[in-house]
Amino acid sequence: MPISNLLFGQVVIKERVKVEPKIENKQSNLRKESLHLLELKLTWSGNSDVCLTGQLYKRDYSNPALDVVLFASGGSASLSSNVFDGMYSYSIGFSNINSSGRVASLKIEIYRDNVLIETINSTGKIQRTWGIFWVKAPPCASHACDDNYIYQPPTFEVNGNYPNGYNNFNHCDDSKKPQGYFYVFLNDIETAFEPFTLDVCYNSNRDKWQIKVDNNIKIRAITDICINNLGSNVITKIEEVDNISKELICDALVAIKGYKKYPVSQSMGFANFDFTEIFWAHELAHQTEFETEMIPVALSYSNFNKNLALFNLSCNDENDINDVKEEANELFNNALEKLLEQLRIEVHFRYPSNNPGRTLKNEKQNHLKVQYLVDKYEIRIKKRMKELNINCYK
Ligand SMILES: [Zn+2]
């Protein structure tokens, strides 16, 4: 019997399989047409008296040459070739030596660049099946990361330029009437962090979405001086020491010596002096400690980078960029919440509220930059004494 007689006379389309990317990319894809490795893997089986033969076609409509693979018996076969972006179709027919329409099962797997993009399972009286599908960059590829983009977890810095009263916080009004303070907003994400951009991009080499976030995220803080709590002798910069009157210069000398300790002590019976540059140095030392010591500890204890590494989506998991962004945002905010929690713990650890005395070390008055300024002012005051020809020690 010639083999042509074995073919089903009437082709019955048992199943029409249409394979397309789940979600067509609505944005224009500016990437150039690219070459892909396309592979169709076919596995079939049937009853023992069912002999299957099949043809597998690949057709590129822009180039209608056909690749035909013939195989003689049941089992598996595959066709692979390099193809450009475009629409392709396959057509597979089955014939049966003894009688038509025997039950068979068929599995077609379509791989694009070694990534399985579709699996089609058919069972039944399969006689002929065909499908159309697109071979083009996966929908995620239009959101591809720049070639040189490498994910880096962000670093954190303090922006202490927020003024007294920002977000209804004004420590100057406290009963202690401080001359200055450093306060960092750690209560919630919205007030703690300045706006930053969080984006996602698709790394096609790894078939993973990646988080793209600003290199540096700023934490809001108030580092400020309480102008209203200062006395009548305010020295804002060292040159102003040269204007101190002879009546007050000895009081200024007593005052600057009080700056060597914390709390800055004021001697009874002497005029008070507020050297605001020194206050600034003190508060900035708090800010620096927060940035260079407390943030790294909190990043580590909150597992910040590890929490971000949990972001692990492939294009198959998710190909709608808005959904990916939403997931990235959720994960990132979660990591920020944990970071804030550890920062609050760190603040309470270093500045226990039940220890109002606070150690000199914690209070930064002995910080090198602070004491350097105290010495500088003391020297300038002594120079002024000389100018005025006044001996404060007699
Ligand atoms: Zn302090």
What averages of pLDDT result for each successive group of 10 residues across the chain (394 residues)? 30 34 37 70 64 54 49 66 74 58 74 82 72 71 83 93 91 88 94 95 87 95 92 95 96 92 77 93 92 96 95 89 94 97 91 61 75 95 95 82
The region, left, alpha or beta by phi > 0 then psi within -120 to 50, assigned to residue 205 is alpha
Q: Confirm whether 83 is domain-assigned.
A: yes
Q: pLDDT by residue (tens digit) across 248-279?
A: 999 999 999 988 877 777 777 889 999 999 99
DSSP helix/strand/coil, 259: coil
Q: What integer pLDDT is reported at residue 375 of this predicted model?
A: 95
Could you say which DSSP state residue 144 is in?
A: B
CA of 224 to the centre of ligand 1 (A): 12
CA of 255 to the centre of ligand 1 (A): 18
Q: What integer pLDDT is reported at residue 380 of this predicted model?
A: 97
Q: Do both 20 and 56 map to the same domain?
A: yes
Q: Last residue of a domain, which of 137, 167, 187?
A: 137
Q: Do both 77 and 157 map to the same domain?
A: no
CA of 286 to the centre of ligand 1 (A): 7
Q: Do both 112 and 237 map to the same domain?
A: no
CA of 81 to the centre of ligand 1 (A): 71
Q: What integer pLDDT is reported at residue 31 of this predicted model?
A: 40
């592979």: which residue's tokens?
Answer: 39
Q: Do both 156 and 299 map to the same domain?
A: yes
Q: Last residue of a domain, which of 102, 117, 137?
A: 137
Q: Do both 126 and 148 map to the same domain?
A: no
Q: Confirm whether 288 is domain-assigned.
A: yes
Structural domains of the chain, count? 2
Q: Do both 133 and 185 map to the same domain?
A: no
Q: Do both 37 and 71 map to the same domain?
A: yes
Say how far residue 299 (Cα) sits from the centre of its chain. Answer: 14
Q: Confirm whether 393 is domain-assigned.
A: no
Q: Do both 190 and 330 map to the same domain?
A: yes
CA of 167 to the centre of ligand 1 (A): 21
Q: Do both 78 and 147 map to the same domain?
A: no
Q: Do both 102 and 63 map to the same domain?
A: yes
CA of 283 to the centre of ligand 1 (A): 6
CA of 278 to the centre of ligand 1 (A): 11
CA of 269 to the centre of ligand 1 (A): 25
CA of 305 to the centre of ligand 1 (A): 31
Q: Do both 114 and 188 map to the same domain?
A: no
Q: Do both 249 and 340 map to the same domain?
A: yes
Q: Confirm whether 394 is domain-assigned.
A: no
Q: Last residue of a domain, which of 80, 108, 137?
A: 137
Q: How far from 126 is each of 10, 101, 183, CA to CA, in Å?
A: 12, 7, 74
Query: 96-100 long-range contacts, Cβ below 8 Å, gap at least 24?
Result: 96/6, 96/8, 96/46, 96/50, 96/51, 96/52, 97/6, 97/49, 97/50, 97/51, 98/49, 98/50, 98/51, 100/8, 100/125, 100/127
Containing structural domain, residue 245: 143-388
